[in-house]
């Protein structure tokens, strides 16, 4: 099946620093990628939808200036958590879809811990 | 997307069939039923999906009722590695939208 690679798997950073998470589709071109966030013992919550070559669409309550999304190519989307704070500590997961009606495949997730 | 209702948790003995139910009484004609699972600290893994007919693959079987208001995911011979949270999701493929996750069912396979 299709493979979505997410990097890094985990990151620890100091408060106030920025962290970039990469999501790559390895064997297909992803026209759309989705970014989710998951807190402990909770379900996945959609943060934003990114389409290649256009601005991301953010869900209500998600700060676009804090969570910068770039989808510059059909195989790569990045999420940058700017000026991270301890409350941003969470499990971030990306997913990618090839065609419009294709099923979604998920990355392995990134555990972010902000000290 | 229509919402789904699943039991919060279930137990299953190793080697036995695990039957995970899902209610989706407001499902529309264009919406597919998808099942994903999430093993601790990993991204969700696709299992199976269907529209009307029952489906089977190497991982599981999906039984959809005739009125499409509910479905059951069957893991025929559960192993300890099947312990995970299982999410039932309905999605309109033609809308090209994202997946909306509910609470899922936490399946515990016990030896």
pLDDT tens string A23-32: 999 888 888 8
For residue B95, the SS3 value is helix
Residue B16: the pLDDT is 97
Mutate to test the interface with B, among A106, A108, A109 (most CBs of B within 10 A): A106
Question: Which of A45, A97, A106 has its CB closest to that of B44?
Answer: A106
pLDDT confidence tier of residue B29, bands split at 50, 70 and 90:
confident
Measured CA to CA, the distance from residue B53 to residue A98 in angstroms comes to: 24
Signed CA dihedral, B4, B12, A92, A39: sign only: positive
Dump pLDDT digits (tens) for B49-100.
999 999 999 999 999 999 999 999 999 999 999 999 999 998 877 666 677 8
**B8 vs A: CB within 8 A:** no
How many CB pairs (< 8 A) connect A and B?
Answer: 53
For residue B93, the SS3 value is helix
Measured CA to CA, the distance from residue A97 to residue A30 in angstroms comes to: 5
- Token pair belonging to B74: 């069957």
Contacts of B102 in chain A (CB under 8 A): 43
């Amino acid at each position: 099946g299709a493979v979505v690679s997410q990097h890094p798997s985990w990151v620890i950073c100091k408060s106030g620093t920025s962290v970039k998470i990469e999501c790559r589709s390895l064997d297909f071109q992803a026209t759309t990628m989705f970014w989710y966030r998951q807190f402990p013992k909770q379900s996945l919550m959609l943060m934003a939808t990114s389409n290649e070559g256009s601005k991301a669409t953010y869900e209500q309550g998600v700060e676009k200036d804090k969570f910068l999304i770039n989808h510059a190519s059909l195989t790569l989307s990045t999420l940058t958590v700017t000026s991270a704070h301890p409350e941003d500590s969470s499990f971030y997961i990306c997913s990618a879809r090839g065609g419009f009606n294709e099923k979604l495949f998920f990355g392995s997730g990134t555990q972010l811990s902000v000290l | 997307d229509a919402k789904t209702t699943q039991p919060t948790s279930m137990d299953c003995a190793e080697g036995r069939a695990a039957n995970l139910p899902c209610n989706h009484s407001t499902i529309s004609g264009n919406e597919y039923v998808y099942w994903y699972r999430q093993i601790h600290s990993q991204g969700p893994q696709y299992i199976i999906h269907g529209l009307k007919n029952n489906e089977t693959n190497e991982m599981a079987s999906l039984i959809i009722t005739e009125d499409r208001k509910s479905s059951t995911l069957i893991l025929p011979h559960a192993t300890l590695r099947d312990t995970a949270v299982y999410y039932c999701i309905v999605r309109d493929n033609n809308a090209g939208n994202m997946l909306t996750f509910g609470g899922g069912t936490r399946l515990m396979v016990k030896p």
